Amino acid sequence: MLQALINIFRIDELRNKILFTIGMLAVYRIGFWIPVPGIDQTEMLEFFQQQAQSGGAFGRVAQFMSVFSGGSFGQSTIFGLGIMPYISAAIIFQLVGSAYEPLKKLQQEGPTGRQKVQEWTRYSTVALCVVQAIGWLAFISKSGLVYENWVGNPLWWVMAVTSMTAGTIFLMWLGEQIDKYGIGNGVSLIITAGILAQMPNAFMYLIQNSPIGQIGPIQAVFGIADNDTTSLSWMSVLFILGAFFGVVAGAVLITVAQRRIPVQQAKHTRGRRVFGGQRSYLPLRVNHGGVMPIIFASSLMIFPSVAFGAMADAFKNSDGFFKGASQFLADSFQMGSYPYVLMYILMVYFFSYFWTTVQFNPEEMSKQLKDHGSFIPGLRPGPRTAEYLETVMERITYVGAGFLSVIAVVPMIVNTGLNIDFMVTQFLGGTGLLIVVSVGLDLVQRVEANLLMRNYSGFLGGNDGKGPKIRGPR
């Protein structure tokens, strides 16, 4: 691996791409610390810390949204909305394009059509930013987190909404610049940088609340005071570390897992020469939906918690059936409870099949195989091939959704069972971990392709006969 890192900086083009990408991510992290004027940052930090410790529905909303905003909502900065509005607009057009025929045809027109859809996505991003910024500023002003002499000033509202909208648009531009001049996959790298930026806080929490923090040299380095009672034992620390490596390995496995279907190319005779006849395979991803099922499930599971929590607060002063029923529903849909986890798993399964249905078209794939003169051995081209592909995809999606459900519920179970802060358990699974793993694998593959293209040994071996080589299908 050390030799591969050295090889990266031997290639001028690859070195410039890597350094440019790092520079853009540094600009993103610097901008994250620029606050929006008029907001009491100290009061806001205390408010969100109380919300997170109380375990309320709004605290979970803030923790979920912080994955995409690049940090805690305890700081209202110009990048406070993150890149999420752009992702939401892109998902909306992707879903609408699969159901609305004119938009679907426009996407199939090639670069011109995709450029038009991209332009509409940017306009929709601006609209979503304005709506989300107004809603966010209205909430914090109602909570008393904005200075009184600023709240009633219309110019402050215009300035705050404009700055937060411009921040998201600037992040969108940064992602496009990374795609054009950097290593690529810019938007995903920005999200990953925001997730990894929270890891030092989780690391410090683990040290301060475990016996590790009571070791003399570590106390001196991190400035930790003596504390005989720590909230985490050695077994808890070992369990967290083991679970982290185990879940990361499982996330890598589910991300790269494929079901390879053999495909035979038909032979063509032209004169005295025979063309074709090669045998290849059609890779079907086990986790075809990626991280999207968890994102949709997490988003929708917020609403029952908020609704039942508000219902319990409304009936807490009354007597009789409604008070008991509302409190029971509110307790049942708290994060980590059995009904919540069960419903969450069902939602992950539902959205796994839903996203696969939207993205995977067996009829179109069967038609493409037929047009290219290829077929699956033992199956007639056309409807029979499409039926077989649909059956295989349904089965592997069931397995992929099961793995996805396990990864999704591990943080909640550890948070509830071991009473460990969610700031730490979020790195044991869920949306953030899957994003980091998938983006990390994509980054390694991009660097690997650049190295192998220039006859350098990559991270997985090389062409110089040293180390393991990348194996293809047997």
pLDDT digits over 98-114, tens only?
A: 777 888 788 777 788 88
Cβ neighbours around 302 below 10 Å, total: 17
List CB contacts of 400: < 8 A, sequence separation 6 or more.
Answer: 254, 257, 285, 286, 287, 288, 289, 352
* Residue 67 pLDDT: 61
* Residue 169 pLDDT: 92
Residue 455 reports pLDDT greater than 70: no
Residue 230 lies in a domain: no
| Burial of residue 181 (number of CB atoms within 10 Å: 0-12, 13-18, 19+) | middle
- Which 3 state secondary structure label does DSSP give 346? helix
Cα–Cα distance measured from residue 302 to residue 347, given in angstroms and rounded to the nearest whole number: 12
Average pLDDT over residues 7-11: 79
- What band does 474 get if pLDDT is binned at 50, 70 and 90? very low
* Residue 395 pLDDT: 92
Q: What is the pLDDT of residues 237-272, one digit of tens each?
A: 888 888 888 888 888 888 888 888 888 887 766 766
Residue 191 reports pLDDT greater than 80: yes
Residue 191 lies in a domain: yes
Average pLDDT over residues 346-350: 91
Alpha-helical regions (H) of 182-320? 186-196, 199-208, 216-222, 234-256, 292-314
Average pLDDT over residues 387-400: 91
Structure tokens at 166: 């411009």
Cβ neighbours around 470 below 10 Å, total: 12
Structure tokens at 412: 């909640």
Residue 439 reports pLDDT greater than 70: yes
- What band does 223 get if pLDDT is binned at 50, 70 and 90? low
Residue 286 lies in a domain: no
Residue 175 lies in a domain: yes
* Residue 387 pLDDT: 92
* Residue 113 pLDDT: 84
Cβ neighbours around 65 below 10 Å, total: 19
Mean pLDDT of the chain: 80
* Residue 68 pLDDT: 59
Residue 278 lies in a domain: no
Cα–Cα distance measured from residue 459 to residue 469, given in angstroms and rounded to the nearest whole number: 10
Q: What is the pLDDT of residues 152-186, one digit of tens each?
A: 888 989 999 999 899 999 999 998 899 889 888 88
Supply the CATH number for residue 76's domain. 1.10.3370.10
Cα torsion through 405, 411, 415, 421, rounded to 10: -160
Sign of the C-alpha dihedral, residues 329, 335, 340, 344?
positive
CB crowding 429-450: b at 16 or more within 10 Å, else e: bbbbbbbbbbbbebbeeebbeb
Count structural domains, the chain. Answer: 1
Residue 123 lies in a domain: yes
* Residue 465 pLDDT: 44
Residue 422 lies in a domain: no
Could you give the percent of the chain with pLDDT greater than 90?
Answer: 11
Structure-model confidence comparison of residues 217 and 365, the more confident one: 365
| Burial of residue 69 (number of CB atoms within 10 Å: 0-12, 13-18, 19+) | buried
Tell me the β-bridge partners of 433.
none
- What band does 309 get if pLDDT is binned at 50, 70 and 90? confident
Cα–Cα distance measured from residue 233 to residue 471, given in angstroms and rounded to the nearest whole number: 43
Residue 3 lies in a domain: yes
Q: What is the pLDDT of residues 108-148, one digit of tens each?
A: 777 888 888 889 999 999 999 999 889 888 888 887 888 88
Cα–Cα distance measured from residue 423 to residue 419, given in angstroms and rounded to the nearest whole number: 12
* Residue 472 pLDDT: 40
Average pLDDT over residues 79-91: 84
- Describe the strand order of the beta sheet including 258-265 as a list of residue ranges: 279-285, 258-265, 374-375
- What band does 65 get if pLDDT is binned at 50, 70 and 90? low
Residue 420 reports pLDDT greater than 90: no
Helix pair 84-99, 338-359: axis angle to 10 deg: 60
* Residue 74 pLDDT: 57
Instruction: Provide the domain limits for residue 89.
Output: 1-197
* Residue 469 pLDDT: 47
Cα–Cα distance measured from residue 136 to residue 103, given in angstroms and rounded to the nearest whole number: 32
* Residue 359 pLDDT: 81
Residue among 425, 408, 428 at smallest CA distance from 416: 425
Indicate the pTM of the whole model. 0.79
Residue count (the chain): 474
